[in-house]
Structure 1
Amino acid sequence: MQVRRAAVLGGGPGGLYAARLLKLAQPSCEVVVHEQGDPDTTFGFGVGLAAGTQRKLEAADPDTLRDLVVAGCRHDMTMSVGGRMTRVRNDRLIGIARTELLAVLQRHAEKAGVRIEYGTRRGTGEFDADVVIAADGVSSATRAAGDFGETIDVGRGLYLWCGADFALPDALFAPVETGHGVFVTHAYPYSGGRSTFLIETDEETWRRAGFDRTTDATPPDASDATSLRYLEEVFAGELRGHPLIGNRTRWTRFRTVRCARWSDGRTVLLGDAAHTAHFSVGSGTKLAMEDAIALVEALDQEPDVGSAYARYEATRRPAVERLQELARRSRLWWESFPSRLHLPVEQLMVAYMTRAGNVPLDRFAEGNPDVVTAAAEQYAKAPPPAGDLVDWVLDQPLRHGETEFPHRVLPAVPDGLTVTEFADVVTDPWNKTGDDVVARARQARRDGADGFRFAGPADRLAVLTRLDLAERVRTEVGGLIIVDGPASARADLAAGLISGRCDLVSFTEEEA
């Protein structure tokens, strides 16, 4: 369709990128971005662009990507636990200052002929436009006022964003135990010789440290200085003597936004306005810019607005929902992260990389054989040979008490072992249903059970959730832990074994 006029609400990455791509695709279209903020004021620190996102940006708009890469900072990833460190190579990951990202996108949008207006809040009904693209963020006023069928799920953990005035050599994941509980940072360098420090904790630790009170006392336009000074001491080693920098920094809980519909009349949602996915999978900027690519393609190729919006949503929704599910699992893993600090750092890194089921164990091993070899030796007390890593993990023997198992695949429970089976349908192993399973497992142990078997549906998501539930019981209750799953899930089950989520697995028949 030929778009005469397009109004874009929001001057963030998604809105600016959509505006540029639309103007490039349809030069005669009048495209105006309406950003309520000041052009010289932005919030946040650095953002990450992974290799997959860079490939998509290169195909859509190589000129913009080239400037983003020049402005960015490449880095690998390091995890530090208990004085030990391990490193993962990821040489196409870049961090870029949010200010630099927006400057590049603003410059390229204006170069294409987009007009950008700042400083005024606008509503969708104010425009004489064929298309209104609402890219106004997680707290979207457009979404709240329209008929989009929104739902918002709020996470249990708390986090805050801050920064530091030096560049870390790598992205860093580091937990620190304090007298109040565990705090963990996800930190990474970005351009300008600075680093982002994202810091998470659980609600009990947050309250014990008094941060519920400091959060209530911090105005919306200020930073929680008390928390920042406390966290400077907690992460003094990681900060290397530098202070933490705030920018409207305050504790909050992650909000997962979902919408039943992404469009309402001539208005369409894009990026965080339509959907969010937890920051631990680095997804906000990625999703918004990939949305922009698909939306502009649909507008250019379909005959009318309704068809274009339907095509855009049909194209993007499967990928978004897949990433939201990965992000949900990642969020639950991070919210329960302190329970894993007993693991050696290499095993913990394998657990981290396989936490959401997106990175197969053998693929991770191909790129980082030193990390996986160390984790395998911690798992089996022997180095893995060259060959099929999954087979090797499953073939390792296990001694549990007085019982010897020749390998980790259990055909039947041996005589003399009492095993309690759980077949509960659980979507979140750390919710009340998960709490109930843990309570029943504790009682079963008191009654003499040697271990537990976790059974259920054969689909992959159910198997991944069983592994998480099994890990929780293994950590909090103990005993021999067995997880059932189909042979098609053998790689996931092997990752669960080497990551300390279970002790044995049992293959079941596939569902028809």
Structure 2
Amino acid sequence: MQIRRAAVLGGGPGGLYAARLLKLAQPSCDVVVHEQGDPDTTFGFGVGLAAGTQRKLEAADADTLRDLVAAGCRHDMTMSVGNRSVRVRNDRLIGVARTELLAVLQRHAEKAGVRIEYGTRRAADELDADLVVAADGVSSATRSAGDFGEHIEVGRGLYLWCGAGFALPDAVFAPVETEHGVFVTHAYPYSGGRSTFLIETDEETWRRAGFDASTDATPPDDSDITSLRYLETVFAERLRGHPLIGNRTRWTRFRTVRCERWSSGRTVLLGDAAHTAHFSVGSGTKLAMEDAISLVEALAGEPDANAAFARYEATRRPAVERLQELARRSQLWWESFPSRLDLPVERLMVAYMTRAGNVPLARFAATSPEVVTAAAEQYAHATPPGRDLVDWVLEQPLRHGDTTFPRRVLASRPDGLAMPTFTDAVSDPWGGAGDAVVERARRARQEGADGFRFAGPDDRPAVLTRLDLAERVRAEVGGLIVVEGPAELRADLAAGLVSARCDLVSFTEEEA
């Protein structure tokens, strides 16, 4: 498809990258980026670029990636709970200042011949263009005004973004218990000798700390100074005496955006305007820039806009929806994070890495053997072998009260134990349906139940959700917890055991 004039709404990473790639692919096309903000004003702190994203950017535009890598700083990852810490390598992960990221992308877009116009809000229907790329972010006015079938889901937890004027040695995940409740930071270094501090908490803690009032009192363009000053004391050890830096910093809830359609007429959505995935999987910039690659390829390979948009969406939607599902699981895990603070930090790190089902236990063991070995020893009070970890986990004995199980896989229901079975179809184990299961389990325990068995469909999403629901009941109600699933998902079930989501597993009869 040959395009004469293209307009891009939004001068963020996705919009600028799409503009550059389109201009490189079609040099005769007049490409203009319309950014409502000032060129010297940006919001946010650091942006992370993982190895997989870097490979895709290198294939699409090696020159831009080279400058991004040169501007970034590589770091590993540490989890700290109390006075215990555990560190894992995170090869090729880099942190880049958002200001520097945008400067690199602006420079390369203009070098390719893209015009960038700042300071004016433009709408799709007022632009004289054959193609309008709406990359105007999570609050996209284009999406809201158009026929895209938008659906927005708001999370339970609250978070804020802030920064600090020094570079941490590693990315760090660290919870701190306060008089109000638990606050957790996800912090990481980025270029320029600074660090991003993202801080999360639950609504009850947020209200007890009085941050509902400070949020209401903070104007939209200002930062919540009350929260920042308090959080400086909470994370004083991590901050090493540095203050927290605000930049329109205020508490908010994550919005997951989904659209039934990514295009309408000559307009196509890109990045956060089309879809979002929770920040705990580091996805916003990644998704937007990968969208840009796919969109430009589709435009070059199809005869008209409708065909190109259909190809773009058919190519990108499966990958986006897969990441959104991983992000949904990760978001639920983080929103319930304080319930896991009794775990040793090594087992907590395994729980973190396997939380969304994207990192198999054996693969994590291959990249971080010291962490997984320590977690396995805590789980079984024995040293695991160097290979066949999943089988070893399943074959370990368990002593529960007066009962000893020779292995963690039950072949039949244990004699003499009262264990009701839950088969509830629950999509959110920490939502209302999960609350109902917990209440039923609590009543059953009061009436003498020794534990609970969780069963249901054999598909992988159902088994992963079952493990999460079992974990919640195990933490809040107690008792012996058994999760049923097919033998083909033995690796997921083994990860659930090491992560303390359950005590025993049972293979369905068809797979036994």
Fold shared per TM-score above 0.5: yes
2:392 is paired with a residue whose SS is helix
Within-5 A mapping of 1:182-197: 182-197=182-197
- Corresponding residue number in structure 2 for 1:43: 43
Show CA shifts across 1:71-111 (max 9, x none): 00100000000210000101210000000000000000000
Alpha-carbon offset, residue 128 of structure 1: 1.6
1:62 maps to 2:39: no
**1: CA distance, partners of 2:272 / 2:387:** 43
1:128 maps to 2:128: yes
Alpha-carbon offset, residue 206 of structure 1: 0.1
- Corresponding residue number in structure 1 for 2:266: 266
Within-5 A mapping of 1:141-160: 141-160=141-160
Alpha-carbon spacing, 1:303–1:509, altered in 2? closer, same or farther (3 Å): farther
**2: CA distance, partners of 1:92 / 1:383:** 31
Gaps of 5+ in 1: none
- Runs of 4+ with >3 A deviation: none
**1: CA distance, partners of 2:359 / 2:415:** 37
- Corresponding residue number in structure 2 for 1:478: 478
Show CA shifts across 1:373-417 (max 9, x none): 000010001110122110000000000111110100001112111
Gaps of 5+ in 2: none
Say what the alpha-carbon RMSD is for the aligned residues. 0.6
- Corresponding residue number in structure 2 for 1:95: 95
Q: Which one-letter code corresponds to 1:251 in the other structure? A: W
**2: CA distance, partners of 1:58 / 1:41:** 28
- Corresponding residue number in structure 2 for 1:25: 25
Q: Which one-letter code corresponds to 1:254 in the other structure? A: F
TM-score by length of 2: 0.99
Q: Which one-letter code corresponds to 1:77 in the other structure? A: M
Alpha-carbon spacing, 1:172–1:27, altered in 2? closer, same or farther (3 Å): same
1:401 maps to 2:401: yes
Within-5 A mapping of 1:250-289: 250-289=250-289
1:419 is paired with a residue whose SS is coil
**2: CA distance, partners of 1:28 / 1:148:** 30
Show CA shifts across 1:168-209 (max 9, x none): 000000000000000000000000000000000000000000
Percent of residue pairs bearing the same amino acid type: 85
* Count of residues in correspondence between the two structures: 511
**1: CA distance, partners of 2:58 / 2:485:** 40
- Corresponding residue number in structure 1 for 2:210: 210
Alpha-carbon offset, residue 20 of structure 1: 0.2
Q: Which one-letter code corresponds to 1:243 in the other structure? A: P
**1: CA distance, partners of 2:161 / 2:69:** 23
TM-score by length of 1: 0.99
**2: CA distance, partners of 1:442 / 1:233:** 38
1:19/1:31 contact within 8 Å kept: yes
1:465 maps to 2:465: yes
1:487/1:509 contact within 8 Å kept: no
- Corresponding residue number in structure 1 for 2:248: 248
Q: Which one-letter code corresponds to 1:466 in the other structure? A: R
**1: CA distance, partners of 2:261 / 2:157:** 28
**2: CA distance, partners of 1:86 / 1:442:** 34
- Corresponding residue number in structure 2 for 1:232: 232
2:502 is paired with a residue whose SS is coil
- Corresponding residue number in structure 2 for 1:351: 351
- Corresponding residue number in structure 2 for 1:417: 417
Show CA shifts across 1:260-317 (max 9, x none): 0000000000000000000000000000000000000000010000000000000000
**2: CA distance, partners of 1:508 / 1:73:** 47
1:107 maps to 2:107: yes
**2: CA distance, partners of 1:155 / 1:126:** 34
**2: CA distance, partners of 1:324 / 1:28:** 36
**1: CA distance, partners of 2:190 / 2:261:** 35
Q: Which one-letter code corresponds to 1:325 in the other structure? A: E
**2: CA distance, partners of 1:314 / 1:406:** 49
1:292 is paired with a residue whose SS is helix
Show CA shifts across 1:127-154 (max 9, x none): 1211000000000000000000000000
- Corresponding residue number in structure 1 for 2:298: 298
- Corresponding residue number in structure 2 for 1:330: 330
1:458/1:510 contact within 8 Å kept: no
- Corresponding residue number in structure 2 for 1:219: 219
